[in-house]
């Protein structure tokens, strides 16, 4: 063998060895990743059984868009159940890439309902698909979705009833309470994005599914969710009818949280219909139900905010703020961005009613930042309207007009009739402050028509009063008196009179 041949042979052998080393290293990486992922999953479900939300969250990527929703869902489940056990954890076929991985997991879950001391609904076999990302060399959970949630996602985007029915037939084993909950979650996500009609279709599907499996709490919850959309669309009678149906089902289920949500909806609908005393009565009942819920602090916080709304409408602003601040403390404690945003918005409104517009804007801005992070278009439109009014009262006309026009666009897009009426009215007041009587009259007349179409008594009275003021400023005293009288006839509550006096 020549020296040259020997050298070529050595190089070839070296290449084979190096290649095998790289290949073996790649092979070794897969089991190492799977071992790491398996450890994370075992820790995740051990923390689940211990109701340790913080330990579970530490295993997630902070960048995951699903983290907040999952955290809220876990906290709600843990507040309602005890003695949680997880058993028979098994793994399906792993899919592992350099920076991403998925792992199908099956386990048995059992728990005891805090209220009834009976086995919790939704127990038994659970199938999860966990998705992971690698950050700084460490695997983190990106998404945790159950088989029921995956099916609910497919059902939500199905184009016809036939397609939905075919999906349900093909997945008969998933016809359970967890599927109903997943459908409700899908409906809520659609509602937040402003897709009201699609959300109503999903809630209707959730209700029918709950009826099929005799899930009374689920039937009540679906009625409550649908009714809230009707409320947002200012269909108050339809909302009230739905909430009352929900209350019957929730009562039959014995679930205090469900009962509280129905009472809240009934109270809020009465509030917007101008029945403040009746609303406060239902809010007090809501609070009483929440106080009976084990670990029901979040429910109590929501009820406190509702009671604050009733005091706001009665003109008792400092008392309202006291309730709102108590609600805010609880919302922040639970890390619930939606409820925190609501509390800030309510505090802002109370300050606005007292002509403390700088303080109002500070709280509106805090609320807006949270709502934008959640993508809640309906509430963003409402807060922008409040900010526009406060800027207007501070004399910042351009900022006021910009915020009110943005609010108006959102409310038109979502079909928010009540919000549309309120924003048109506020545009009328803004132009009135600028002595632009022609524009003010146009907006007040549009607001009056929108309020009468609902009907929204406070809005009708305020719009009539605005039209009266425009006529008064233009020297049309007979017409002004006519509209003032009509406005006062509708001022049936102290708050309505206070609104009219304040507007003048």
| Nearest-angstrom CA–CA distance, 451 and 463 | 8
344, 363 Cβ separation under 8 angstroms: yes
Range of the domain at 310: 295-415
- Other C-beta atoms lying within 10 Å of the C-beta of residue 415: 14
In a domain, 16, yes or no: yes
Q: Is 426 found in the same domain as 356?
A: no
| Nearest-angstrom CA–CA distance, 120 and 112 | 5
Helix H or strand E encompassing 96: strand 95-96
> 């300050």: which residue's tokens?
351
Model confidence pLDDT, tens digit, residues 235-268: 899 999 999 999 999 999 999 999 999 999 999 9
Q: Is the pTM of this model over 0.85?
A: no
Domain count, the chain: 3
User: Which of 128, 150, 172 represents a domain boundary (last residue)?
Assistant: 150
| Nearest-angstrom CA–CA distance, 148 and 183 | 9
444, 425 Cβ separation under 8 angstroms: yes
Q: 35, 53, 32: which is closest to 44 by C-alpha?
A: 53
| Nearest-angstrom CA–CA distance, 317 and 454 | 27
Model confidence pLDDT, tens digit, residues 332-377: 998 889 999 999 999 999 999 999 999 999 999 999 999 999 989 9
386, 348 Cβ separation under 8 angstroms: yes
User: Which of 394, 415, 436 represents a domain boundary (last residue)?
Assistant: 415
Q: Is 133 found in the same domain as 21?
A: yes
User: What does the pLDDT average to over 207-219?
Assistant: 95
Total residues found in the chain within this entry: 504
Higher pLDDT, 358 or 103: 358
For residue 309, the domain's CATH number is: 1.25.40.10
Q: Is 382 found in the same domain as 325?
A: yes
In a domain, 191, yes or no: no
For residue 96, the domain's CATH number is: 3.10.450.50
166's tokens: 């075919």
Whether the per-residue pLDDT at 115 is higher than 90: the answer is: no
> 């994005």: which residue's tokens?
193
Q: Is 426 found in the same domain as 372?
A: no
Higher pLDDT, 295 or 404: 404
User: Which of 150, 168, 201 represents a domain boundary (last residue)?
Assistant: 150
397's tokens: 């006309």
């Amino acid at each position: 063998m020549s020296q040259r041949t020997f050298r070529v042979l050595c190089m070839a052998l070296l290449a084979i060895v190096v290649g095998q080393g790289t290949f073996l290293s790649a092979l070794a990486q897969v089991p190492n990743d799977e071992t790491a992922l398996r450890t994370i999953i075992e820790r995740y479900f051990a923390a689940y059984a211990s109701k340790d939300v913080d330990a579970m969250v530490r295993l997630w990527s902070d960048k995951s868009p699903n983290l907040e929703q999952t955290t809220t869902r876990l906290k709600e489940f843990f507040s309602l159940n005890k003695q949680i056990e997880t058993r028979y954890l098994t793994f399906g076929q792993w899919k592992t890439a350099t920076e991403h991985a998925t792992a199908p997991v099956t386990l048995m879950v059992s728990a005891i309902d805090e209220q009834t001391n009976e086995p919790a609904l939704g127990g038994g076999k659970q199938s999860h698909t966990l998705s992971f990302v690698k950050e700084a060399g460490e695997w983190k959970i990106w998404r945790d979705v159950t088989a029921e949630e995956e099916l609910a996602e497919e059902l939500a985007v199905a184009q016809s009833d036939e397609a939905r029915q075919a999906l349900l037939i093909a997945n008969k084993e998933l016809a359970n309470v967890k599927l109903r909950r997943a459908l409700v979650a899908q409906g809520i996500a659609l509602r937040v994005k402003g897709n009201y009609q699609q959300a109503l279709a999903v809630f209707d599907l959730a209700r029918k599914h709950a009826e099929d499996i005799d899930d009374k709490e689920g039937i009540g919850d679906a009625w409550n969710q649908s009714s809230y959309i009707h409320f947002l669309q200012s269909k108050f009678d339809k909302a009230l009818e739905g909430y009352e149906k929900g209350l019957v089902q929730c009562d039959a289920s014995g679930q205090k949280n469900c009962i509280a949500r129905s009472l809240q909806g009934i109270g809020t609908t009465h509030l917007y219909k101008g029945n403040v005393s009746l609303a406060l009565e239902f809010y007090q009942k809501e609070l009483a139900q929440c106080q009976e819920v084990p670990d029901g602090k979040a429910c109590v916080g929501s009820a406190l905010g509702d009671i604050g709304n009733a005091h706001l409408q009665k003109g008792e602003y400092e008392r309202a703020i006291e309730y709102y601040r108590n609600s805010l403390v609880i919302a922040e404690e639970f890390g619930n961005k939606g409820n925190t945003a609501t509390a800030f918005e309510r505090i802002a409104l109370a300050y606005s009613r007292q002509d403390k517009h700088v303080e109002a804007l500070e709280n509106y801005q805090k609320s807006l930042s949270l709502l934008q992070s959640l993508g809640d278009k309906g509430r963003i439109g409402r807060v922008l309207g409040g900010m526009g009014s406060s800027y207007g009262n501070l004399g910042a006309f351009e900022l006021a007009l910009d915020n009110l026009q943005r609010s108006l666009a959102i409310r038109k897009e979502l079909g928010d009739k009540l919000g549309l009426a309120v924003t048109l009215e506020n545009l009328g007041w803004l132009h009135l402050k600028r002595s632009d009587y022609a524009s003010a009259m146009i907006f007040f007349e549009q607001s009056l028509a929108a309020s009468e179409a609902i009907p929204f008594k406070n809005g009708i009275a305020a719009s009539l009063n605005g039209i009266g003021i425009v006529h008064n400023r233009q020297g049309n005293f007979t017409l002004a008196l006519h509209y003032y009288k009509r406005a006062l006839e509708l001022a049936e509550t102290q708050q309505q009179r206070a609104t009219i006096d304040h507007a003048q």
